Chains A and B, each alone.
Chain A
Amino acid sequence: MPTVVLMDVSLSMTRPVSLDGSEEFQRKNLAVHGLNMLFEHMASNYRLEFTALMAFSSLWELLVPFTRDYNALQEALSSLEDYDKTCIEAALNGVNNVVQQEWGSGCPCQVVLVTDGSLGIGKGSLRHSLQTLKHRGEDKKFPLPFPFPTKLYILCIANSEELQMTDAMDNLEHLLCLSGGDGQIFTMEGPLCMKSVQTMFGRLIDHAYSPFHAVLHCGNLSSDVQVFPRPEPMVVDEEVEPMPRAVSTDLEIVGFIEIADISSPPVISRHLVLPIAVNKDVDEVGAAATDELEDEPSATQMAGKSPNFCVLLHGSLKVEGMVALVQLGPEWYGMLYSQADSKKKSNLMMSLFEPGSEPLPWLGKITYLGPVSEAAENPYGEDDSKSPFPVQPPAKRSYAQNVTVWIKASGLQADVQKILRNARKLPDKTQTFYKELNRMRKAALAFGFLELLKGVADLLERECTLLPDSAHPDAAFQLSHAAQQLKLASTGDSQYADFDHNIAPMHTDFSS
């Protein structure tokens, strides 16, 4: 989930923080300090996150486009300049553009807005934006909610008492609410100083940027892993039972399925599964291996050399073309597979299915998937030529069962012509002729379209008179038999117009 850091560089951020003695700080310094702390944390614990840095006042500027280069981000922070007034609406429009351009409209994003709680004055101020919310044309809509799912974190270099003295807090809460309500407002506790800004950013880190650690189990084999990005808890939007679900820290493999059988299933999110060193005081993350290793056999190097289940699993999944079905919690499943992003690099990935007992219709209920060994006969066949998947639904869909639809005249004409075409090839086509005739008869009876039965009967009688001399004598018998049966059905008399009745070919003695 990419992050956009939106830094307020308006003049009010240069307000000095009153400190007894020592150095004098501006609010901006505090903000920069906090952000540096965030970036350092991400560099060591969350470095796969893409982050962009934007500065705004009445205008906005993209200082660092989305990157994993946290040095670049920190460098940009050190060279911030001061500008005029705060204009959040314009900045949010900027965020919208930057994110959509890079990630499209479906990718969830985190926005970290760092401001001092003085939200501008007059036109362009947040207060003004919110007041005029309802009187806008289509083209000047307020940028929130963004088209992409958003988590909005507002970090105020101010304490909550200060914010509550004005309407700033109300306005920020309104803003959070507009963005969809997912996010949080952080304020500073106690005096404005380095320590309290650290505490505030520490809370943000704990809340949104702590790595997700789990244990991947396959029976007695297991591996400590980091799942990146963090799987977010979700509420299953079921009107009757709104239940919040979170991915368990024990990921349990339940079995394996061929890629062809799982067949590009829909997923709600994708995550990298990175094995981490069991030794807890080592700085985890697979990415750590890319670090320069100055010190002699470091823990990561050691970790690289001791066998890890993830690597074994990844290798075999890749070679066999299979996925592992993994349980994430009660009635929630996902799959593990090998994903190659280029020919050289491949990785263990985990995709999450929609929570529920039957996320994929073609697998059936997951709880009713059992081990192959229990089946009386290997459902994959002795030579892997078969598969028990996909699970067939109890009923066929309309396109798989030759339904009759006469809404368009062409549909009706095609069915009548098909009967006539076969009528001309009697007795060779006797079976097809009666099959088509009966299909037409059934539909005509259901639709109450008796006139059609009479019409087709007339057509068959006419065909009978047009038979060439060379025609097989059986043809004439079958045609007049069929015509007579249709005529009887067209009376609507229940004796002849039974839906389940089929007109059978007439028994003749020419068959020799």
Chain B
Amino acid sequence: MKMFSVAHKTVFVVDHCPYMAESSRQQVECDVLTKSRAQGVIPLAPVSKSLWTCAVECSMEYCRILYDVYPKDKLVNYIVSDSEFHILNSWRRGDQSTHELMSALAAVGPPNPREDPECCSILHGLVAAVESLCKITELQHEKRTALMDTAERVANRGRIICLTNAKSDTHVRMLEDCIQETILDQNKLAAGSDRLMGIQQCELVLVHIYPQGEDTLVSDRPKKEISPLLTSEVHSVRAGRHLASKLNILVQQHFDLASTTITNIPMKPTLNVCEQEEQHANTSANYDVELLHHRDAHLEFFKSGDLHMAGTSTRENNFKETVTLKWCTPRTNNIELHYCTGAYRISPTDVNSRPSSCLTNFLLNGRSVLLEQPRKSGSKVISHMLSSHGGEIFLHVLNSNRSTLEDPPSISEGCGGRVTDYRITDFGEFMRENRLTPVAESSHDPSGKVPVERAKAQLERYTRYWPMIISQTTIFNMQAVVPLANLIVKETLTEEDVLTCQKTVYNLVDMERKNDPLPISTVGSRGKGPKRDEQYRIMWNELETLVKTHAGATDRHQRVLDCIIACRSKPPEEEERKKRGRKREDREDRAEKNGSKEMEDKSWQDSERLKGLLEKGEQDAEVIKDSPDSPEPLNKKPRLMVDEVQPPERAKGPVSLLSLWTNRITAANSRKHQEFVGRVSSVNNKFELYQHLKEENGMDVHENGKASR
């Protein structure tokens, strides 16, 4: 259905003249006496609805179905006509609900039988309806504003459903002529106005209502063209259930709806479909519930000509057709992803009947039901599924044909399929952190980016350094790095975050001093793998790579990088000194670095806290994972991969106070201790010279690797 078809705007014009107060002569027994109480009680006389009541409740039912299936932009304007017209609502989206309309109808009340019939006419309402069709709706306005140059593509079509009691065929013709003239007049008016739109097409549906047991004075007439602008059809219907089923058919025609009957619904207490109250009724009985929905949900049946097989039944007394689908057990769970080709909102035809409300409540509680298309052969074909989302029930169309994608090559056969140590769990964690959530449209972000762009920006930050396999990384295999790795990817850091990151770094320094083992992959090297100090060098390199990719973001990010550079840049002699275990002094040193000058006290507290943290960290520092089924040796050294992703260094920016301070301290320390190298680390007064050359050679390999790229 097109966006601006006649279905976009529907005007109900309901006759409120004295005649409508007449009884429909269809009686309803509302006093149903139970046998035990029947003695000696005179039952209440049956009540009967007026023509007005019949018209109003059927039109409300029409609106109910319409709003259920099209919650947006299929609009109704409700007008009541007696000696003047009363417009009960507007085209505004906020006015579109049955509750609004019922409230307005209650204010109008039933027609006054004592009013002068000569003053009253449906014409007042019809003229108002045409005027109303010229008024622009929110959607029309939005589209016209959005299109600018091609605004004329926004059409203005509409439908008038008139519920009245006409006097004769001539009277009907008079009404049609009058509408035609009003359209011409209004279009002239609209041509000169920005707020009005001329009517391009108007469909008049006139429903003549007469009481039961009377003969109609107006004859049915199929749709005919009165003018290029106006078509008209006449339905002559008895009040009561005939009117109700007529309007039910009309709403289906007007809004491309079709009907599905769900059959074999078990209402057993075990299935919890039914409330306690009615359990005694007949526990084994199966019920049917009829639903209306967009007719595309049956597209497959129409196309394949399977309609008959699908169990179409033509009900007596009306022309309505329904496709029968069978309730199917076992039910489905919601963690299964079905291949679904369409989902359409539904509305039960008989909304507050017991079976309907049992079914809808069952679905609203979050359960889904598969539906089966009955076939003569007895084979099961599951063709649909009922499921609710956010309090709305949808009929999902499931694909029941053979898939053209069957038997595809498995992912393990393709590129990267032979690699066995992907960081599947880590990426799972990454996905959880990058889940999406709806953001209120009113909330404004200072960056001016829409939420989905911010989500993409977050993905970008989180993946600046993200090795895909376990053997490519050291730091992500270390529990001790987790706090820093989690924080550094953030867009902005708080002071506390920086502190946490620094503590993580100090913790690593401490591990290094204690010579804790690292979860370095031994893949690719024979024997025991790299030496311990080499391992730490790899780890520090990797950590630096990670942090460097974020250092440009804010000064606080930069401070974390500075901290790493400062902590790892200790010359070998100091490492040696540390091995001797002058822990206490070290800690003080660090506390000094950590704290700012003017807060000596705080730095002490920090160092105490740090102590606790370090002790805790030691326990966590164990290897958290390594791949037991690591693949055959890779010929690359992991750190080469690290180098690959190294981004250009941060452009020279302002240097933070902390980094200035730490650099100075480091420099001072190294100067102080330089001459003690041999003495401090000598064994039996002997000391191997040029130890550091070996390490530098190691470095050379590394540098070369880098240079060759």
Q: Which residue of B lies closest to A493 (CB)?
A: B109
A221, CB-defined interface residue at 8 Å? yes
B-chain residues with CB within 8 Å of residue A349 when the two chains form the complex:
405
Question: Which of A29-37, A362-370, A472-480, A503-511 is near enough to bind chain B?
Answer: A362-370
Tell me if B360 and A255 are in contact (CB < 8 A): no
Assuming the A-B contacts A308-B416, A405-B64, are A448 and B50 also in contact, with contact meaning beta carbons closer than 8 angstroms in the complex?
yes
Indicate with 1 or 0, residue by residue over B106-149, a CB within 8 angstroms of chain A CB atoms: 11111100000000000000000000000000000001000100
B613, CB-defined interface residue at 8 Å? no
B201 CB → nearest A CB, Å? 13
A337 CB → nearest B CB, Å? 6
Tell me if A107 and B437 are in contact (CB < 8 A): no
Tell me if A492 and B397 are in contact (CB < 8 A): no
Q: Which residue of A lies closest to B64 (CB)?
A: A398
A-B contact pairs, 9 of them (CB 8 A): A221-B468, A254-B452, A262-B337, A270-B339, A308-B416, A397-B392, A399-B351, A407-B241, A408-B350
| Whole-angstrom CA separation of A416 from B110 in the bound complex | 21
Choose one: A50, A241, A397, A406; the contact of B68 (CB below 8 Å).
A397
- Counting from the closest, the 9 A-B pairs by CB-CB distance are A308-B416, A370-B451, A448-B110, A219-B463, A104-B401, A286-B414, A390-B390, A499-B106, A362-B389
A311, CB-defined interface residue at 8 Å? yes
Tell me if A239 and B337 are in contact (CB < 8 A): no
A442, CB-defined interface residue at 8 Å? yes
Tell me if B438 and A407 are in contact (CB < 8 A): no
Tell me if A368 and B414 are in contact (CB < 8 A): no
Tell me if A316 and B431 are in contact (CB < 8 A): yes
Tell me if A266 and B436 are in contact (CB < 8 A): no
Indicate with 1 or 0, residue by residue over B203-226, a CB within 8 angstroms of chain A CB atoms: 000000000000000000000000
Considering only CB atoms and an 8 Å cut-off, how many residues of chain A contact the other chain? 153
A128 CB → nearest B CB, Å? 26
A-chain residues with CB within 8 Å of residue B347 when the two chains form the complex:
397-399
Q: Which residues of B contact A (CB under 8 A)?
A: 2-4, 28-32, 37, 41, 44-45, 47-50, 52-53, 56-58, 60-61, 64-65, 67-68, 71, 97-98, 102-103, 105-111, 143, 147, 150, 153-155, 241, 244, 299-300, 303-304, 334-343, 345, 347-348, 350-353, 356-357, 360, 364, 368, 385, 387, 389-393, 396-397, 399-402, 404-419, 422-425, 427-428, 430-441, 450-452, 454-456, 458-464, 466, 468-469, 472, 490, 631
Choose one: B348, B392, B435, B469; the contact of A257 (CB below 8 Å).
B435
Output the residue of A257, A263, A268, A310 with the most chain B CB within 10 A.
A263
| Whole-angstrom CA separation of A102 from B579 in the bound complex | 75
Tell me if A219 and B436 are in contact (CB < 8 A): no
Assuming the A-B contacts A263-B334, A275-B416, A451-B48, are A396 and B391 also in contact, with contact meaning beta carbons closer than 8 angstroms in the complex?
yes
B28 CB → nearest A CB, Å? 5
A-chain residues with CB within 8 Å of residue B461 when the two chains form the complex:
219
Assuming the A-B contacts A346-B411, A408-B350, A446-B106, are A363 and B456 also in contact, with contact meaning beta carbons closer than 8 angstroms in the complex?
no
Tell me if B397 and A368 are in contact (CB < 8 A): no
A54, CB-defined interface residue at 8 Å? no
Within 8 A of B (CB), among A201-222: 218-221
Indicate with 1 or 0, residue by residue over A5-48, a CB within 8 angstroms of chain B CB atoms: 00000000000000000000000000000000000000000001
Tell me if B463 and A220 are in contact (CB < 8 A): yes
| Whole-angstrom CA separation of A306 from B417 in the bound complex | 8
Choose one: B337, B450, B452, B460; the contact of A259 (CB below 8 Å).
B337
Interface of B is mostly: mixed
Choose one: B71, B412, B454, B456; the contact of A374 (CB below 8 Å).
B454
Q: Which residue of B lies closest to A218 (CB)?
A: B459
A165, CB-defined interface residue at 8 Å? no
Tell me if B71 and A103 are in contact (CB < 8 A): no
A110 CB → nearest B CB, Å? 11
Tell me if B436 and A499 are in contact (CB < 8 A): no
Tell me if A370 and B459 are in contact (CB < 8 A): no
A500 CB → nearest B CB, Å? 7
B12 CB → nearest A CB, Å? 14
Assuming the A-B contacts A310-B411, A341-B406, A368-B438, are A107 and B401 also in contact, with contact meaning beta carbons closer than 8 angstroms in the complex?
yes
Tell me if B435 and A256 are in contact (CB < 8 A): yes
Q: Which residue of A lies closest to B364 (CB)?
A: A400
Indicate with 1 or 0, residue by residue over A382-395, a CB within 8 angstroms of chain B CB atoms: 00100011111101
Tell me if B103 and A392 are in contact (CB < 8 A): no
Interface of A is mostly: mixed
A180, CB-defined interface residue at 8 Å? no
A385 CB → nearest B CB, Å? 13
| Whole-angstrom CA separation of A366 from B437 in the bound complex | 10
| Whole-angstrom CA separation of A445 from B436 in the bound complex | 46
Indicate with 1 or 0, residue by residue over A254-288, a CB within 8 angstroms of chain B CB atoms: 11111110111111101110111100000000110
Tell me if A102 and B417 are in contact (CB < 8 A): no
Within 8 A of B (CB), among A482-509: 492, 494, 497-500
Tell me if B404 and A367 are in contact (CB < 8 A): no
Tell me if A270 and B405 are in contact (CB < 8 A): yes
Output the residue of A349, A399, A466 with the most chain B CB within 10 A.
A399
A-chain residues with CB within 8 Å of residue B4 when the two chains form the complex:
239-240
Tell me if A103 and B422 are in contact (CB < 8 A): no
Tell me if A320 and B428 are in contact (CB < 8 A): yes
A-chain residues with CB within 8 Å of residue B406 when the two chains form the complex:
341
Tell me if B434 and A256 are in contact (CB < 8 A): yes
A393 CB → nearest B CB, Å? 6
Tell me if A397 and B416 are in contact (CB < 8 A): no
Tell me if B436 and A257 are in contact (CB < 8 A): yes
A-chain residues with CB within 8 Å of residue B425 when the two chains form the complex:
316, 319
A179 CB → nearest B CB, Å? 15
| Whole-angstrom CA separation of A413 from B83 in the bound complex | 35
| Whole-angstrom CA separation of A48 from B153 in the bound complex | 43
B49 CB → nearest A CB, Å? 6
Inter-chain pairs besides A286-B408, A416-B30, 6 sampled, C-beta below 8 Å: A286-B413, A306-B419, A307-B468, A347-B409, A413-B32, A451-B50
Q: Which residue of A lies closest to B344 (CB)?
A: A266
A327 CB → nearest B CB, Å? 8
Assuming the A-B contacts A240-B150, A286-B409, A407-B61, are A266 and B3 also in contact, with contact meaning beta carbons closer than 8 angstroms in the complex?
no
Within 8 A of B (CB), among A426-446: 442-443, 445-446
A-chain residues with CB within 8 Å of residue B50 when the two chains form the complex:
448-449, 451
Assuming the A-B contacts A239-B155, A252-B456, are A348 and B411 also in contact, with contact meaning beta carbons closer than 8 angstroms in the complex?
yes
Choose one: B29, B58, B392; the contact of A393 (CB below 8 Å).
B392
| Whole-angstrom CA separation of A415 from B109 in the bound complex | 21
Tell me if A275 and B415 are in contact (CB < 8 A): yes
A-chain residues with CB within 8 Å of residue B454 when the two chains form the complex:
370-371, 374
B-chain residues with CB within 8 Å of residue A274 when the two chains form the complex:
408-409, 414
A303, CB-defined interface residue at 8 Å? yes
Output the residue of B340, B396, B416, B434 with the most chain A CB within 10 A.
B416
Within 8 A of B (CB), among A350-388: 351, 360-375, 379-380, 384, 388
Choose one: B41, B53, B342, B432; the contact of A447 (CB below 8 Å).
B53
A363 CB → nearest B CB, Å? 7
A145 CB → nearest B CB, Å? 11
B-chain residues with CB within 8 Å of residue A364 when the two chains form the complex:
438
A314, CB-defined interface residue at 8 Å? yes
